[in-house]
Amino acid sequence: MATKSLPLAEIFAITVTFIVNYNFKFLIVKLFETNYIFAIHYLLESDYKMRDKKSNLHKEDILALKDALELLSGKWKFCILHNLSNYGTLRFKDLQEMSLGITPKVLSKTLQELEENLLITRTVNNTKPVTVSYALTAHAKETEAVVNALISFGLKHRKKIKDK
């Protein structure tokens, strides 16, 4: 099996799509006719004291990947970031309507996590009744490439599965 170094954004985009299911010990992805093996457990729980001699990822890269996965993991974060990216500033109710199936409690918690991680800003509007709006930060706009890569990968994957 050939091994090849991937840009961190591509590794993140591929890995995050499968991170929801922790039952997988290894993820094998075929990309550009090259097989890549990702040990999810290693990426998430390793203490990273030593660099694996066979790995092309450096300690800082692995830590950065772990941070990014923890930051963006969750069922609704990409959906919320995608909606804010496409539609600009949105109110809580607008986000809830656009994210079909999300409960107000989960939306509130997810928005709080995104705000704590400086990906969105929360603005309390002085209206009656009081309304709250959310917008992407400049920092969050850097995630657009990852979101678009995931969408592209998802579309290709769905087509491949449907054509099977």
Is 105 contained in some domain?
yes
Q: Can you give the pLDDT at residue 54?
A: 52
Is 44 contained in some domain?
yes
| Parent domain of 42 | 8-73
Do 62 and 83 reside in the same domain of the chain? Answer: no
Is 155 contained in some domain?
no
Both tokens of 129, joined, read 């009744």
Is 20 contained in some domain?
yes
| pTM greater than 0.85 | no
Do 99 and 133 reside in the same domain of the chain? Answer: yes
Number of structural domains found in the chain = 2
Is 103 contained in some domain?
yes
Residue pLDDT tens, the chain, 164 long: 444 445 555 555 555 444 433 333 344 444 444 444 445 445 555 544 444 555 566 778 888 888 888 888 888 998 899 899 889 999 999 999 999 999 999 999 999 999 999 999 999 989 898 899 999 999 998 888 887 888 889 999 999 999 87
Cβ count within 10 A of residue 43: 18
Look at residue 56 and give its three-state secondary structure: coil
Residue whose structure tokens are 């959310």? 134
Do 58 and 84 reside in the same domain of the chain? Answer: no
The CATH number linked to 136 is: 1.10.10.10
Look at residue 126 and give its three-state secondary structure: coil
Do 47 and 104 reside in the same domain of the chain? Answer: no
Do 27 and 49 reside in the same domain of the chain? Answer: yes
Do 24 and 43 reside in the same domain of the chain? Answer: yes
Is 164 contained in some domain?
no
Do 54 and 96 reside in the same domain of the chain? Answer: no
Do 65 and 107 reside in the same domain of the chain? Answer: no
CA nearest neighbour of 111 among 129, 93, 134: 134
Is 159 contained in some domain?
no
| Domain-ending residue, one of 48, 73, 98 | 73
